[in-house]
Chains A and B, each alone.
Chain A
Amino acid sequence: MTWSEDAAEALADAGVELVAYLPDSKMDVLIGEVVEDDRFETVLVSREEEAIGVLVGAWVGGNTGALLCQSSGLANTFNAIGSLSVPARVPFLGVVTRRGNLGEFNIAQVPTGYNMDKLLDDVGVRNTVVTDPENVRETITLAGETAFSTQSPYVVLLEQTVTGRKPEAADD
């Protein structure tokens, strides 16, 4: 299976019912699979911090949720994560395409993308980085299971070695 098929199965295995997302070029294939998959209810948001609100509301309504977005978009969520998800102990599973590291051509992606693991640590959100596509399914499944059982967010960062790198700026 492809990394995105593995990721979709892992979301289902982890018990995810609602997926909030914003498009990203690398995430596009996974979003497409999740939107077409009857196992998931999907919500396209206009800004990533909206997704945090949607996922918190979904949890209070009895659902479990995941966020799909890119690392720069995850940076948009920090006040919502830090002042709602974490202190209210409301879990979500984040699956995030990480920019700013190996293969990055755009300096604007570097400050929050390269440092996203440290930024998440600082705000109190556990996270892990996947560099090998072979590890996608198990990592996302385990991340979801620990997020929902501990009732705290967990974010999986997918490197460009998993999702494929952008060949050049002109294609951005």
Chain B
Amino acid sequence: MTDARADQYACTESLLNITPDAAVVSNLGVASYVLASVSDPERARNFYQWGSMGVTTAVGLGLALSTDEPVTVLDGDGSLLMSLGVLSTVARYDPDNLTIVVWANDVYGTTGGQSLQASHTDFAGIAENSGLDAITVRETDAFADAYRGATESASVTVIVCHVDPVDPDARPTFDFPYIARRARDSLTTDT
């Protein structure tokens, strides 16, 4: 197995280019900070999480069941590890507009980069055995191909993307009610 790792910034830019209208639910910490680094600050459909570790994919499921727009979850390996049962729940309902990306950096990035100590764990294998399509990628180009395929699929696909740990300076707005309201208005107001 190669130990190549994709660039989380380039992959995040890539997914925004492929699905410019997608609602993006981003995990607290690094996933949200990278999203804030590369996307327009006014992008209303970024639903940044400021807390609730382990609940990000569940938020994406509820959103996908409640809108016809594409929904992309940007979860983290540490957060998913504490809530693996959600994969079975997602497979039960399998909304055709949902794609789940798991940034696998092997660390708890927001709390100082402590190791997950979970290199023996195959997240794509867990997703498959929970009833979902899943793919593991380690390069930015491969991520873009996998993401394009996932968004065109009628089934939920989990993309486990191995990335180097990063420590962005960018932050989403701290106004949490505004983040939720802005996303809701964008998804529910006819344009």
Chain A residues close to B by CB (< 8 Å): 18, 20, 41, 43-47, 49-63, 65, 79-80, 82-84, 87-90
- Residue B23, interface by CB 8 Å: yes
Which of B54, B66, B85 lies at the interface centre, i.e. has the most chain A CB atoms within 10 A of its CB? B66
B128: shortest Cβ distance to chain A, in Å? 17
A18-B53 contact in complex given A52-B58, A57-B60, C-beta closer than 8 Å: no
Q: 22 A-B contacts, Cβ less than 8 Å apart?
A: A20-B62, A43-B89, A46-B85, A46-B88, A50-B86, A53-B52, A53-B55, A53-B56, A53-B58, A54-B65, A57-B25, A57-B58, A57-B62, A57-B63, A57-B65, A61-B187, A62-B184, A65-B62, A80-B52, A83-B51, A83-B52, A84-B59
Q: Is the interface of B mostly helix, strand, loop or mixed?
A: helix
How distant is the Cα of A55 from the Cα of B55 in the complex, in angstroms?
Answer: 11
Chain B residues close to A by CB (< 8 Å): 23, 25, 47, 49-67, 83, 85-86, 88-89, 92-93, 176-177, 179-181, 183-184, 187-188
Query: Which of A41, A84, A89 is the one whose CB lies under 8 Å from B55?
Result: A84
B47: shortest Cβ distance to chain A, in Å? 6
How distant is the Cα of A20 from the Cα of B63 in the complex, in angstroms?
Answer: 13
How distant is the Cα of A54 from the Cα of B73 in the complex, in angstroms?
Answer: 13
Residues from chain A with Cβ under 8 Å of B180 in the complex: 56, 59-60, 88-90
How distant is the Cα of A56 from the Cα of B25 in the complex, in angstroms?
Answer: 11
A104: shortest Cβ distance to chain B, in Å? 28
User: Contact between A60 and B184 (Cβ–Cβ < 8 Å)?
Assistant: yes
B129: shortest Cβ distance to chain A, in Å? 14
A53: shortest Cβ distance to chain B, in Å? 3
B170: shortest Cβ distance to chain A, in Å? 20
Question: Told that A43-B93, A54-B65, A58-B62 touch, could you supply 5 new A-B pairs with CB distance under 8 A?
Answer: A46-B89, A50-B85, A50-B86, A59-B66, A88-B177
